[in-house]
Each structure stands twice: as structure tokens, then as C-alpha cells.
Amino acid sequence: MTDAATPKRVAVVSPIFGGTFPVAAQAQRALAALGHDAALMDMRPFAADYMEARKRGTQDAQLAFFGAVRGHIEDALSCTNPELVVALAQAPVRHDLLAELRAAGTVSALWFIEHFERFLTWRAVAPHYDWILRFQKGPFAEALSEAGARNHAYLPLATSPEATKPAWPTDDDPYRSALCFFGSPYQNRIDLFSSLADRGLSLWGKGWAQVPGPLSTCVRAGEEYLDRNIERRVYAGADIVINLHSRLPGETVFDFINPRTFDVAGMGRFQLVDRRTLLAEHFGPEEIVTFESARDLREKVDHFLHHPEQRRTIADAARARVMAEHTYEHRMQQLLHYTLNRTEVADGQPR
């Protein structure tokens, strides 16, 4: 078996756009921190070409786009000669390139950190990667097997917390709030947050300014894109971070854990999270408090707003768990163990 601790040459291929790009960058940095020769292939410069190909909507346009992408990736790979190629989410890697990698003895892996019912790109490439790492279990595992995936395993998201957590906010902090939410205005969030409009809720994220009704008074920034640094300041300035996972009509699977869960915990901040089937595998009730309904959320908000020491005790415990088990360095160690040892696993556990 290959020793995953021995330095490896790894290429990380990012998505073209979207919120999953930061995970690709975190994965590359984590691999480098672990002593591996890790290179990040930033595919974002192809975003305009991708949108143009979609606009034209012809097969020739798509072939031209993927041909350009493939040429770029091949040139980069010829320089780095990786032993392992890790693609993130919806990275534009097609089956023909994967076949070439396999023929050259290079292991390929896809870390699919998208909801499998919402984004279906995994179907076309499932049989062609050597490994697919997924942040969902159950139905997605079954669907991958049915689609012909060679090997797949559960690999949840994580965070890269700073060495020290931020100080607790002062009243003059411009990002100060009793309650905050940072993210997009999915309908399930709009419906639930309406019950908190009178509890000092602050909403941050592009799109909230367009939401009518009682939440309009809660919007702190709802037009512009807010980067990672602002997101961290929003979390650091809040007494309570509300973490409600997105949900679209028709989706039936809710077993994923979003990056916000790990990020907020890693910062040592208190959060209330909608109940997730997988959460108990990663955090205990003394580390993260969950809620099941609008009424339950409101009652817990009222309780914890008046118990700051209890909030801090729980938040400190969550941070300790993250530092011990849930950093991207931990995840990359798992990924290398699976892919380079070709270990057979079932939902993250050896068979």
C-alpha cells in the first residue's frame, strides 16, 4: 500500500465559478501544509467562455469550450506531473481526459460538494473517476453505485480556522448583531426568518434587499457580493449565528452539512443549526445546538440571548472539536488515504 504521509504531487482542479471555489483553494493549501507538492488549477478565467457557450447552446460551442479547457489542464499537468488529480464540485473535467489520466497511471478523484439532486453533473463522470468523495450519504451513495462509480466514500466539508479565534464583539463593532445570517435568500430561509424579524436579526448576502415584507428591516447588506473576510467579521460580531441549510422545492435528501457549520464552529462562535441527520457524527449537543421548527428556533434564540456564558461554553467546545477533527488538513489526509491506498470504504468506514 502507498504511504499517504510520503510527499505526493497533487493537482487540485477548481470549479469555474460559484461558492465552492474557496474549498478548492483550501484543499490545495491543506495539502501543501501537510508537506505535499500541491498545485491549484484555477479555472475561473474560463467563466466567460462557459457562459458564452451556454448562450450559444450548440454542440460545436460546447466542444470548443471543453477543448480549450482540456488543453489548459493538459498543459498544466505536463508541468506538474501529478500522481493524483483532485477535481472539486463541478470542475470541467470530462471523461476523455480522465481516461488519459488513468492510462498514464495518474489517480483521479472528484470531491463532489454539491447537493446531488440539485446539480447533476456527477452522472456523466461517475464511471470515469477512480474515486468520488461525497459530502452526502444514503441515496447519493446508492445513486453513484447505480451510475457505475468505481469507488466512492463519504468526505464531509471542513474549515481552516485561524490560529486564534476573534475577540468577542464590542458595541461599536460595525458588524455587531444579536442574531445574524450570512447567505442567499432561499425560500425556506425567507419563510423561517420572518418569525425572527423582531429579535434583532441581521441579514447579510446578495439578494436579501429584494425580499419584501418584514425582513426588509433586517437587511444589513443585500445587494453587493461580500467576500470571505466580511463573512468572518459578520460571524465574529454576532451573539448568535443562525445556520439554516438551503432547500429547493422537490428535494428529498437533507443529509449534508454545509461549510458554515464548520466555519462558525472553527471561529469559536455560537450557532443554532437546523437539525441534520449527519450532524451527530461530527458534533455533540454540547458543541452545537439544533432546532427543528420556527417555534423551536425562536424559543432557543430567546434563551441563549440571555445566557452569554452558556453560549461561550458551547462555542468553545465546538471549536475544540473542529481543531481536533474537522480542518481541511484532516480531510486531505483522509482523501489521500482513500485514493492512494485504494482502500475500499462504505460511507467513510472500511468494509
**Structure-model confidence comparison of residues 272 and 212, the more confident one:** 272
- Model confidence pTM above 0.85: yes
SS3 121: coil
Dist CA 249 CA 192 (whole Å): 15
DSSP output for 191-211 = HHHGGGTTTTEEEESTTGGG-
pLDDT at position 31 is 97
Q: What angle do CA 275, 279, 283 make, to 5 degrees?
A: 120
pLDDT in tens, 154-202: 999 999 987 678 888 888 899 999 999 999 999 999 999 999 999 999 9
- Residue 172 is given by DSSP the state T
Over its C-alpha atoms, the chain yields an Rg (Å, rounded) of 21
pLDDT, one tens digit per residue, over 91-146 is 999 999 999 999 999 999 999 999 999 999 999 999 999 999 999 999 999 999 99
Structural domains present in the chain: 9-158+328-350 (3.40.50), 177-325 (3.40.50.2000)
Task: Name the DSSP class of 174.
Answer: T
Task: Write down the residue that cell numbers 470531491 correspond to.
Answer: 111
What does each C-alpha distance from 6 to 31, 260, 261 come to in angstroms? 12, 32, 31
Write the single-letter amino acid at 159. T
Whole-angstrom distance, CA of residue 349 vs CA of residue 351: 6
Question: Which helix (H) or strand (E) covers residue 107, if one does?
Answer: strand 107-112
HSE-up (13 A, CA, CB side) for residue 131: 30
Beta carbons of 143 and 119 less than 8 angstroms apart: no
Residues 266-306: tens digit of each pLDDT? 999 999 999 999 999 999 999 999 999 999 999 999 999 99
Number of Cβ within a 10 Å radius of residue 333: 16
Cα 30-33-34 angle, rounded to 5 deg: 90
